[in-house]
Homo-oligomer: A and B are copies of this chain.
C-alpha cells in the first residue's frame, strides 16, 4: 500500500499514523479531521497532510476509520461512491455489529474489514497519540478477507506489536459487553451512588475506591454510541451482574474464591 487515509485523527487515529511510521511505512498518510486535530497530528508526525474525505478516499489504498461509532456509521454511508475499488476500508470502533452491518449494506465497491484495537488511555486527541499505544494489546478483526491490502494491514498490526485476534462481530460485541462495558457501568454506578448517598466517604477513601472509580471518569461522549449500539448484550450482562450481587450474600466465601481466581488469572496472562 502506498497511501493511507485516517478518518478521525484523535488518540487512536493519530497513534495509528505514528505506529505506521515507526514500523517503517514510507508512503503517504492523509488525515481527515477537524483543523485543530489535523494541525496536532501533523505536528506530531502522525499524518503528512489534511484532506477532505473525497480526496482521501479517492487516493487511499487503506482507509482507517477512527471516529466515534456514530461518525464511522455516517462515513460508511458516504463512502461507496468515493473509494477506489481495490481499497480496503477498516475501522477502530468499540462495537462491531452495527458497523459491520452498515458496511455490508453501504460499501459495495470495495472490501471492508471490521477492527477494534483494544488500546486507549485517559488522555484524548492526537496530541496524546503514541506510536506504542497498540504494543502488547489485542487488535480484534472481524474476518480474514482474501485481499492484498488486508494481508498487508495484518502485517503492519503485527509490526506494531499488537496481537491480531479474529472474532466475528457478534462474538466481539458479546465479549466486550462483559469485559469492558459492564466494568464501565459498574464503576459509573458505584461512583454515582456514592455521590448520592455517601459524599463524605470521599474524606476517608483508600486506594481501593480509587481503583473502583477510575473508569467512572470516562466521558459519556465516548460511551453514548457504545451503549446505543450494544444494548442487548449490555442489558444481559447488567442483569446478570445484578443477579450476582443479589446472590452474593448467600455464600460470600465461594464468591470471594471465584472472584480472586479470575482476577489472578487475568494478571497471569500479562
* Residues in A lying within 8 Å of B, measured CB to CB: 118-120, 137-138, 140, 165, 174-176, 178-180, 182-206, 208-220, 223-224, 227, 235, 237-238, 240-242, 244-246, 248-249, 252-253, 255-267, 269
Contacts and interface: CB of A to CB of B under 8 A. Distances in A.
A248 to B, nearest CB: 6
Given A214-B208, A249-B235, A202 B118 contact: no
B244 A193 contact: yes
Contacts of A119: 206
B265 A202 contact: yes
Q: Dominant SS at the A interface? A: helix
Given A175-B204, A178-B201, A179-B198, 18 more contacts: A118-B206, A179-B205, A179-B209, A180-B206, A183-B208, A183-B209, A183-B211, A183-B213, A187-B259, A189-B248, A189-B259, A193-B244, A202-B265, A210-B266, A211-B211, A216-B256, A242-B242, A242-B246
A262 B191 contact: yes
